[in-house]
Amino acid sequence: MEGILFWFLALVLLGSAVAVITNRSPVASALSLVTMILALAGLFGLLGAYFLAAIQVWVYAGAVMVLFLFIIMLLDLKAEEGMPLRALGVGAGLFLVLFLGVGIWHAIPASAWEANGLRAAVSNDAASIGHLLFGAYVLPFEAVGFLLLVAMVGVIVLSKRDV
């Protein structure tokens, strides 16, 4: 059952990711991205990271994607549709994919393929993450919070026409 689910989600994931870059319309690309993010959230769930799966859906599929769509609408990017891909760019991209793919393939250790590599998931992951966040990682956590504040101020400054 887990195997079937994995393969299904993996196919959706890769397919939608390819669709992001092959779609001519920004809106379609954005929607493909949402699909990809949801598929990834499913994979997170499959790996037992339920808390992260929920975060993925909320933050990415919810907030970030809304931001993307919002900007697409705001800039009215229809005019950019059908921007032709250049053969050189495609060739370079494919070459890189192969090159980096081989690199990544080599980087995966043989032990990763052992069937018993994946053990039981950590139960009650949300609580564990919470403990870590407010325990060992409290300083980075606060820093990231501050970062969000800074980003908010920055975005407002950037977006205002005349400061």
Interactions with another protein, residue window 71-130 (CB under 8 A): 71-72, 74-75, 77, 80, 83, 85-86, 89-90, 92-94, 96-97, 99-108, 112-115, 117-122, 125, 128-129
> Measured from the CB of residue 54, what is the shortest distance to another protein in angstroms?
11
> Measured from the CB of residue 125, what is the shortest distance to another protein in angstroms?
6
Task: Give, as ranges, the residues between 2 and 31 that touch another protein (CB under 8 A).
Answer: 2-4, 6-7, 10, 13-14, 17-18, 20-21, 26, 29-30
> Measured from the CB of residue 41, what is the shortest distance to another protein in angstroms?
10
Q: Could you identify the residue written with the tokens 């920004």?
A: 26
Of the candidates 48, 54, 82, 162, which one interacts with another protein according to CB under 8 A?
Answer: 48
144 near another protein (CB under 8 A): yes
138 near another protein (CB under 8 A): no
> Measured from the CB of residue 95, what is the shortest distance to another protein in angstroms?
9
**Rounded Cα–Cα distance for residues 23 and 104 (Å):** 26
66 near another protein (CB under 8 A): no
**Rounded Cα–Cα distance for residues 125 and 52 (Å):** 9
Q: How far is CA 93 from the centre of its chain?
A: 20
Residue partners of 34: CB distance under 8 A and separation at least 6: 61, 65
Helix (H) or strand (E) holding 28: helix 26-46
**Rounded Cα–Cα distance for residues 65 and 89 (Å):** 27
40 near another protein (CB under 8 A): yes
Residue partners of 27: CB distance under 8 A and separation at least 6: 69, 72
42 near another protein (CB under 8 A): no
Here the tokens at position 27 are 């809106």
> Measured from the CB of residue 74, what is the shortest distance to another protein in angstroms?
7
**Rounded Cα–Cα distance for residues 138 and 102 (Å):** 38
